[in-house]
Structure 1
Amino acid sequence: MTAPATPSTPASAQDAGVVASVERPCRGFPRAARVRAKAEFARVFEAGTRKAEPDLALHWLEDAAPARLGLAVSRKVDPRAVGRNRIKRALRETFRQLRPQLRPGAYVIVARRGAAQADAATLRATLQRLLRRAGALPVPAAVGTMPAATSSHPPIDPAARVRGPETADE
């Protein structure tokens, strides 16, 4: 007689849900990619350029260092920590994805009251608009079916164009 198959259960409640470490590329947000010091925040606010929309304000100070992000989400935006953290998480992820395309410098994003009601997609779109307006993010190429018009020929003089069939009678 064979023993009934026992379901594989964790050895303890502490082991429940623990999955063995799998090699995956690091997608985190390293310390080098953050604006952290109070002095650096102050420098960005004083000397940086500012662009704003109802939900967010962007302060950007271009320098030689790679793109770094600082976030300011106060209790006036959302009194609940879970709401403030949701806003920060959405902005941080958008910045992480856009970081390779961004010009170097320190970016500080200040959330405004409207950000509390905005979903992650709206915050992402607003941040991208602000970055483009500031000149930190290149404008995406126009989507179309025809390639961009590039010509190695000299421009045609409009006066030299033929306006129809020429006849000998004229």
Structure 2
Amino acid sequence: MPTCARFPRSARLTAASDYDAAFKSGQRHHDPLFGLHWRRGDAAARLGLAVSRKVDRRAVVRNRIKRALRQQFRLLRADLAGGDYVFVARAAAAQASPAALAAAMQALLQRVGALPRQSTPAASPGTMRSAANAAATCNSNPDVPTHDPMPASDAG
């Protein structure tokens, strides 16, 4: 993962008062997989997740949903409009694949205007081309190699 796609504490909603403010004064948008409460702001985008036992009683499934949404948020955070985003998972999210959750999240954010629409088709996630482009755009340390070169003489 590129070093610029982090999820620092400043990018998370941590206090109950932050969640309350997003639920009370945020705009509500819906998708078959989850609902979004978006409270616009000038600060950087922050993510909050609500995945209850009503979605699935197994913690493994609930955590898989949260991991998929967090990962997509990491990748989109630089392009998102400022504010607090609280995603509330629905029961249909338990059967969705991580790729479907990520695609639904991105489509919902584009639909509500929080994310600019893609004008040119990019390489699909997971391809070498998109990984190379992501690594090239990150502010990484130029002194640290991006891969571990294997010497050719160690054929053994």
Please give the range of the TM-score, normalised by the shorter of the 2 chains: 0.7 to 0.9
Residue equivalent to 1:141:
119
SS at match of 1:123: helix
Residue equivalent to 2:42:
64
Distance of aligned partners of 1:119 and 1:25 in 2 relative to their CA distance in 1, 3 Å threshold = same
Residue equivalent to 1:128:
106
Which structure is higher in helix share?
Answer: 2
| Contact 2:5 2:75 (C-alpha < 8 Å) held by counterparts | no
Greater RCO (CA < 8 Å, at least 6 residues apart)? 2
Query: Which letter maps to 1:65?
Result: A
Residue equivalent to 1:87:
65
TM-score where L is the length of structure 2: 0.73
Deviation for aligned residue 1:53: 1.0
Query: Which letter maps to 1:101?
Result: D
1:37 corresponds, among 15, 27, 46, to 15
Alpha-carbon deviations, 1:62-116, whole Å to 9, x = none? 1111000000000010100010000000000000000000001000000000000
Q: Which is greater in Rg?
A: 1
Identity of aligned residues (%): 54
Alpha-carbon deviations, 1:120-156, whole Å to 9, x = none? 111011101110111100011055xxxxxxxxxxxxx
| C-alpha distance in structure 2 between counterparts of 1:25 and 1:54, whole Å | 32
| Contact 1:51 1:133 (C-alpha < 8 Å) held by counterparts | no
Alignment of 1:116 with 2:94, yes or no, is yes
| C-alpha distance in structure 2 between counterparts of 1:96 and 1:40, whole Å | 20
Structure 1: unaligned runs, 5 residues or longer: 1-23, 144-170
Residue equivalent to 1:165:
none
SS at match of 2:76: helix
Alignment of 1:106 with 2:108, yes or no, is no
2:32 corresponds, among 54, 68, 80, to 54
RMSD: 1.4
TM-score where L is the length of structure 1: 0.68
1:77 corresponds, among 42, 55, 63, to 55
Structure 2: unaligned runs, 5 residues or longer: 122-156
